[in-house]
Chain A
């Protein structure tokens, strides 16, 4: 059977398969539910292909091993969830400061604290606003299917290498644990810059130093403006989103990840009853596809943001749409039993049409 034939796999498994297809050379991780299938799969498959798998002593150990392997020019990754991702923030900040690429998979669970293991989207702010110290951003990709768990993991490696910014695949326990049919696509051809900055111990005239310490007059400020420009370039070139039924929409529902799947069913229910409703799904959460939101809000003034939290992405939606657009919010804070039903979302959609129905 060809490795590119259709398969029925778990989301976490798709991530691990994609990492191997993308040519990951080093994986360092630590067990935590609901993502442990990723290290389990890679501990089995990566060494067979000459790669390195280490179960680290801690999440901090794991992300710093990623830092070392990435500094040495390798494709390196780690994966975790909530409490583990919090521990990794130190390393993510250092990697951002050192312009090191890597892939971090966050299969979100509930919090704060130990929280629980059901689906959550309450780590949106942590992921998109720079979860560690110092004022940086990382690339954040939000899959909404097992197929996208696969495709976006591969994309994360390329984008991260392209921009020298860490990339995160922000999934959740629904996406990590559910099984769907996927086509394990071949790694796309990408022209990527040579990692001539890596520490290779090859001596010669050029000394390569990977560091984030800038003490000289104006050095740190210069670094920040350089990264700011890079984030802008990333936004201009690689913002991604998906629109569904937005052309004539009088209300646009917006949601990411697993919530967008439920929202899409609710949009179909609304359409079947004659409500002109569309769906806007950001695929890149950083860069947030601001321009696309702005353009859509030129025509459509009614918006409904749906999240598995008390409202985080809604801030970015409100900052992106034209000021005369009305942005409603419907959230279910994460917790066992808090996943909304399509009927529940449809009711909220209808509520937004009340004034038109009189």
Chain B
């Protein structure tokens, strides 16, 4: 019998701590598939962040350094400059990258660090229990925006993929989702491109990954998945915002 589907070799054969319906698992898989595609797992160093994404080393068969909250792009800069022949990526949540770590991400991007950044946007702080994030949608109720996000008070959600695409140092910037098979295929392609950019030494590549957080949204997995399509994608449009190869 011909085998047509398998678990990526870059992933460990373990259960994750992610909640049912969480999209982290899908994105972990897509990242692992990209590593397998280029055969780079053995030369990859992951920079984990603070939040649900901290356990990178528990799920990937790669060397990992844990970064302080928001600082993964600075840590990755240190790693990549120290070992330019290695593949270095960060995997960060929205509180981590778009709030406490805005300085680090913008400057790493602007310097054109030859790293890959996977930015998981689930419109909330997952690990700490569903507080308002810089990406929380207008009107979205969270544990620190009990009346819903008030844009007069808190501003509007950051659109990081668009924002970073404006910097000359950024070679590739895309927003993807995994809420349906079509989007999964596009996400897979974009993540592969983001790693290929580094393999080919082409520059800074950024993936914003729209993700469901059923637990903190107070939804079941199906409803949370639907919310990605119904509410998030209209505000955070999918697509490629910068692709140096097409410029």
- Give the interface of A toward B (CB within 8 A): 25-26, 28, 52, 54, 56-58, 60-62, 64-74, 76, 90-91, 94, 98, 199-204, 207-213
7 sampled A-B residue pairs with Cβ under 8 A: A57-B104, A65-B74, A68-B77, A200-B45, A202-B63, A207-B62, A211-B48
Complex Cα distance, B107 from A28, in Å, reads: 14
**Given known contacts A71-B79, A201-B43, A201-B83, is B66 in contact with A64 (CB within 8 Å)?**
no
B87 contacts the other chain (CB 8 A): yes
CB neighbours of B48 from chain A (8 A)? 211
Interface flags, B162-192, vs A, CB<8A=1, else 0? 0000000000000000000000000000000
Whose C-beta in chain B lies nearest to the C-beta of A209?
B57
CB neighbours of B106 from chain A (8 A)? 57
A246 to B: closest C-beta gap in Å: 44
B54 contacts the other chain (CB 8 A): yes
Top 7 nearest A-B pairs (CB, nearest first) are A68-B78, A203-B42, A64-B74, A57-B107, A199-B63, A69-B78, A65-B78
CB neighbours of B82 from chain A (8 A)? 25-26, 52, 68-69, 72-74, 76
Within 8 A of A (CB), among B30-73: 41-45, 47-48, 54, 57, 61-68, 71
**Given known contacts A61-B104, A64-B71, A71-B78, is B42 in contact with A210 (CB within 8 Å)?**
no
CB neighbours of B104 from chain A (8 A)? 57, 60-61, 64
CB neighbours of A61 from chain B (8 A)? 71, 74, 77, 103-104, 107
Within 8 A of A (CB), among B136-183: none
B238 contacts the other chain (CB 8 A): no
Whose C-beta in chain A lies nearest to the C-beta of B81?
A52
CB neighbours of B75 from chain A (8 A)? 64-65, 67-68, 71
- Give the interface of B toward A (CB within 8 A): 41-45, 47-48, 54, 57, 61-68, 71, 74-83, 86-88, 103-104, 106-107, 111
Docked-complex contact A68 and B74, CB < 8 angstroms: yes
Docked-complex contact B63 and A209, CB < 8 angstroms: yes
Whose C-beta in chain B lies nearest to the C-beta of A70?
B78
B19 to A: closest C-beta gap in Å: 17
Complex Cα distance, B81 from A66, in Å, reads: 10
Complex Cα distance, B75 from A70, in Å, reads: 10
Contact of B78 (CB < 8 Å), options: A26, A208, A211, A212: A26
Docked-complex contact A209 and B64, CB < 8 angstroms: yes
Docked-complex contact B68 and A54, CB < 8 angstroms: no
Docked-complex contact A64 and B103, CB < 8 angstroms: no
Complex Cα distance, B83 from A76, in Å, reads: 13
CB neighbours of B76 from chain A (8 A)? 68
Contact of A210 (CB < 8 Å), options: B66, B68, B88: B66
Contact of B64 (CB < 8 Å), options: A66, A73, A199: A199
Complex Cα distance, B66 from A207, in Å, reads: 14
B226 to A: closest C-beta gap in Å: 33
CB neighbours of A58 from chain B (8 A)? 103
CB neighbours of B71 from chain A (8 A)? 60-61, 64, 67, 90-91
Whose C-beta in chain B lies nearest to the C-beta of A100?
B65
Complex Cα distance, B66 from A76, in Å, reads: 17
Contact of A211 (CB < 8 Å), options: B43, B57, B61, B103: B57
A106 to B: closest C-beta gap in Å: 20
**Given known contacts A61-B74, A65-B75, A69-B82, is B103 in contact with A200 (CB within 8 Å)?**
no
**Given known contacts A26-B81, A213-B66, is B43 in contact with A60 (CB within 8 Å)?**
no
Complex Cα distance, B80 from A351, in Å, reads: 59
Most buried by B among A58, A204, A207: A207
B94 to A: closest C-beta gap in Å: 19
CB neighbours of A98 from chain B (8 A)? 65-66
Docked-complex contact B66 and A54, CB < 8 angstroms: no
B103 to A: closest C-beta gap in Å: 6
Whose C-beta in chain A lies nearest to the C-beta of B41?
A203
Complex Cα distance, B83 from A212, in Å, reads: 22
Complex Cα distance, B127 from A213, in Å, reads: 14
CB neighbours of A94 from chain B (8 A)? 66-68
Complex Cα distance, B72 from A94, in Å, reads: 12
**Given known contacts A64-B67, A64-B68, A200-B63, is B43 in contact with A56 (CB within 8 Å)?**
no
Whose C-beta in chain A lies nearest to the C-beta of B74?
A64
B44 to A: closest C-beta gap in Å: 5
Contacts A25-B82, A94-B66, A211-B48 supplied; 14 other A-B pairs, CB < 8 Å:
A26-B82, A57-B107, A61-B77, A62-B74, A68-B78, A68-B80, A72-B65, A98-B65, A98-B66, A200-B83, A202-B42, A207-B64, A208-B63, A210-B65
**Given known contacts A65-B74, A72-B45, is B68 in contact with A213 (CB within 8 Å)?**
no
Docked-complex contact B61 and A72, CB < 8 angstroms: no
Docked-complex contact A28 and B78, CB < 8 angstroms: yes
CB neighbours of B45 from chain A (8 A)? 72, 199-201
Complex Cα distance, B72 from A71, in Å, reads: 13
CB neighbours of A56 from chain B (8 A)? 74, 107
Docked-complex contact A201 and B65, CB < 8 angstroms: no
**Given known contacts A60-B103, A199-B63, A202-B43, is B68 in contact with A91 (CB within 8 Å)?**
yes
Docked-complex contact B64 and A69, CB < 8 angstroms: no
Whose C-beta in chain B lies nearest to the C-beta of A25?
B82
A287 to B: closest C-beta gap in Å: 26
A136 to B: closest C-beta gap in Å: 14
Docked-complex contact B67 and A57, CB < 8 angstroms: no
Contact of A65 (CB < 8 Å), options: B54, B57, B61, B77: B77
Whose C-beta in chain B lies nearest to the C-beta of A211?
B66
B216 to A: closest C-beta gap in Å: 20
